[in-house]
Amino acid sequence: MNDIPAKRDELHQKEVYSPPSRRLSEQNAGGLHRRAFLAASAGATVLLGGPSSAQVQSPVASAPTGSGTMPSNVRVERVDGSILLIGIRQETDRVDLSSVIGLGRLMYMLDHDDALRVAVLYSQGSDFVGGVLDPDSWAPVLRTGKFPEMSEFINPVGTIPPRRQKPLVVAVQGKCQGAGHELFLAADVRVAASDTVFAQPEVTRGHFPAGGAPITFVREAGWANAMRYMLTGDEWSADEAYRMGLVQYVTPPGKQLDRAIAVARKISAAAPLGIRATIASAHRALSEGQEAAYAALFPELARLAQSDDHQEYFRALGEKRAPAFRGR
């Protein structure tokens, strides 16, 4: 649970690019396909924010071209050429509908840019996400139970296909509650500062956690652990989250992003085809059952055995160097 020593100046070795919001905001406003999210999933939103003060360069990839607008105050950077670093900010506890659309577009970008191998999601403020529904922006969705149409969007909490195919590492601090906790649960690897305060308090607000917590929280922590907090709305600490298996690393405050980037670098150095196959196999077991996942193991292994990356491993082994995987 101790923090990995990481040089702070490594965080400045980034290629900063302009957020896709600049291009998306010029397009017609759209919405979110109802299949892309749970109806009335108010708990699945996250507020993007914090304009970047770094020098703006070219986008890391073409912005999604579907209709819809991206929140303008989101910091998006490329680290080491292959890590998508997404900084969010929440000025208040309320979250807006447009925010989940923006984050979903970034998840789509992650999956469809071949140069990107992993994303790191973090907060620029003292809190991650408080997760209180903004009643004005969500009113039409809650009234009708439907979302407007939207293309080029991946559900950021993974409740509806298509699901994200590349890894997401999350780093949190302060409040990680409600919608924020559900977004946290959707990540593949989770890092929390020791000052993080978690909660899934929707039952104390007159509704329930519709962003996936009744499924993901129970799956990750076990029935009684999850129900103990979801049914009471009580808060819990980073150490308690670690005990329940929700957190893989607990760091001193201010070190959580360093650790998350260190983990992302290890993921980025691995073979991209193998990474995606591993995630897909795990999702198949959850959605189609273990027998379907077992049946697909050797066919997938045979496919990857024909890849250049598989041969690159043996070349590197013979040449006594680290392999340079290219995802093909």
Residues with a known catalytic role: 182, 202
Per residue, the 3-state secondary structure of the chain, as one string, reads CCCCCCCHHHHHCEEEECCCHHHHCCCCCCCCCHHHCCCCCHHHCCCCCCCCCCCCECCCCCCCCCCCCCCCCCEEEEECCCEEEEEECCCCCEECHHHHHHHHHHHHHHHHCCCCCEEEEEECCCCCECCEECHHHHHHHHHHCCCCCCCCCCCCCCCCCCCCCCCEEEEECCEEECHHHHHHHCCCEEEEECCCEEECCHHHCCCCCCCCHHHHHHHHHCHHHHHHHHCCCCEEEHHHHHHHCCCCEEECCCCHHHHHHHHHHHHHHCCHHHHHHHHHHHHHHHHHCHHHHHHHHHHHHHHHHCCHHHHHHHHHHHHCCCCCCCCC
